[in-house]
Amino acid sequence: MPGVTWLVYALATVVLWTAWSFLGVIALRHVSPAQATLLFGIAVAAVGTASLALTRRSASWAASGVTVAAVSGICGALGMATFYLALNHGKASSVVPVIGVYPAFVALLAVAFLSERLSGIQALGVLLAVAGVILVGSGS
């Protein structure tokens, strides 16, 4: 959508992923983690199909890009399965903050492998995020 900044999309993601995590806790009262993972996969396929149909940007199906996207999808799907297993065995108030540290690791990987840079404040944020996970995890 023209005129929409990355921040708007990022904040929309926060809202949607908050709803997804919270509703996942409720869903697991009635379905198994495997069922929740399957339903998530069906929803992803539907949203992905709609996204391809509605996109204005034509993209090639280059083998290198498709391979990386497929591996990314597999990691995401396995992560979804382990997320639902974690919610099934733990409290959402502990599970979700621990899982929520993954952006800190993405930031570190981006610095190490994608030549991105973190400012001092951003590096402090990564350290605080990891410290927060240690505190939340030790309280369980």
The pLDDT mean for the chain works out to 90
| Whether the Cβ atoms of residue 33 and residue 77 lie closer than 8 Å to each other | no
Question: φ, ψ for residue 115 (rounded to 5)?
Answer: 60, 30
Return the half-sphere exposure (C-beta side, CA atoms, 13 A cut-off) of residue 4.
7
Q: Is residue 93 part of a domain?
A: no
Give the pLDDT score at 100: 85
d(CA 48, CA 41): 10
| Whether the Cβ atoms of residue 136 and residue 97 lie closer than 8 Å to each other | yes
Question: 0.85 exceeded by the pTM?
Answer: no
Domain match, 75 and 125 both? no
Domain match, 64 and 8 both? yes
Band (pLDDT 50/70/90 cuts) for residue 5 is confident
d(CA 64, CA 73): 14
Q: Is 41 exposed, middle or buried (0-12, 13-18, 19+ CB in 10 A)?
A: middle
Give the pLDDT score at 26: 94
Q: Which carries the bigger pLDDT value, residue 3 or residue 114?
A: 114
d(CA 47, CA 112): 32
Dump pLDDT digits (tens) for 16-69: 998 999 999 999 999 999 999 999 999 999 999 999 888 876 778 888 899 999
Range of the domain at 124: 100-140
Question: φ, ψ for residue 128 (rounded to 5)?
Answer: -65, -35
Domain match, 51 and 26 both? yes
DSSP one-letter string for 29-49: TTS-HHHHHHHHHHHHHHHHH
Q: How many domains does the chain have?
A: 2
Residue 140 has pLDDT above 70, yes or no: no
